[in-house]
Amino acid sequence: MQVETRHILHQGLWQSNPALVQLLGLCPLLAVTNSVANALGLAIVTTLVLVASNALVSLTRNKVNKDVRLPTFVMIIAALVTVAELLMQALTYELYQILGIFIPLIVTNCAILGRAEAYACKNSLALSILDGLAMGVGFSLVLVLLGAMREVLGQGTLFTDMHLLFGESARLWELTIIDDYRGFLFAILPPGAFIGMGLLIAMKNVIDQRQAMSQLSLDEPSSKSRRVRVTGIIT
């Protein structure tokens, strides 16, 4: 059990990180990461949907026929995203206005359907929830990191507009990293997102390689994640 838990966390956060390794959900990822607040908003919603969809898929795994499982997953995910959208409109309307068009796009985030098909429909409720959480947090970390990089480079600030997520007191969180910064438009526009993403992937690969070098004697058991790997060493 302990081993399984550690394995799930390692897969989600690092080994098969949905954003850095599987390269799933790139459209919303690249589009909203121009500030930490926007990135965190999408990260929270995506993680919640991922956990809920894994839980529901796991619960229904013995009741749904194998032949119709994919349409069922799609229906579950679409319903969850719509619920999330309605809740956001009711609870955080201003954030909804900013993230608005990207919320329905969570439906098309293949990471969610991918986890339903690859994990949740074969595993117990607890493990599926943990898997959703690990994958969601892995995705979220990349979103927030990329958002922070682009916000600092693009506007010279960090944590602007956090009050949209955490209420009025969060207005004070805004940090001006670079005074009198004239702004670096490139980082805020889409090309900045692609290049930032590329740098993050490269960084992960460098760390992985360093690690592999230092423990050459150990065989890396990567066969389990083989099919989902897009970046790094494809074995």
Which chain residues interact with other proteins by CB under 8 A? 34, 60, 63-65, 67-68, 71-72, 75-76, 78-79, 82-83, 86-87, 89-91, 93-94, 97, 154, 183, 185, 188-189
Distance CA 102, CA 25 (A): 11
Q: Which is nearer to other proteins, 7 or 171 (CB)?
A: 171
Q: Which is nearer to other proteins, 75 or 230 (CB)?
A: 75
Q: What angle do CA 150, 154, 156 make, to 5 degrees?
A: 105
Q: Smallest distance, Å, CB 12 to other proteins? A: 26
Q: Which is nearer to other proteins, 8 or 121 (CB)?
A: 121
Q: Give the Å distances, CA to CA, from 226 to 212, 221, 223, 229.
A: 17, 10, 5, 6
Q: Smallest distance, Å, CB 180 to other proteins? A: 15
Q: Smallest distance, Å, CB 86 to other proteins? A: 5
Distance CA 223, CA 235 (A): 8
Q: Smallest distance, Å, CB 182 to other proteins? A: 9
- Do the beta carbons of residue 55 and residue 125 sit within 8 Å? yes
Cα torsion angle, 126, 128, 134, 137, sign:
negative
- Beta-carbon-side half-sphere exposure of residue 120 (alpha carbons within 13 Å): 34
| Phi, psi dihedral angles at 119 (to 5 degrees) | -125, -60
Q: Which is nearer to other proteins, 75 or 207 (CB)?
A: 75
Task: Output DSSP code: residue 35.
Answer: S
Q: Smallest distance, Å, CB 195 to other proteins? A: 16
Q: Which is nearer to other proteins, 50 or 76 (CB)?
A: 76
Q: Which is nearer to other proteins, 183 or 198 (CB)?
A: 183
Q: Smallest distance, Å, CB 207 to other proteins? A: 32
Closest by alpha carbon to 41, among 30, 51, 32?
32
- Do the beta carbons of residue 81 and residue 107 sit within 8 Å? yes
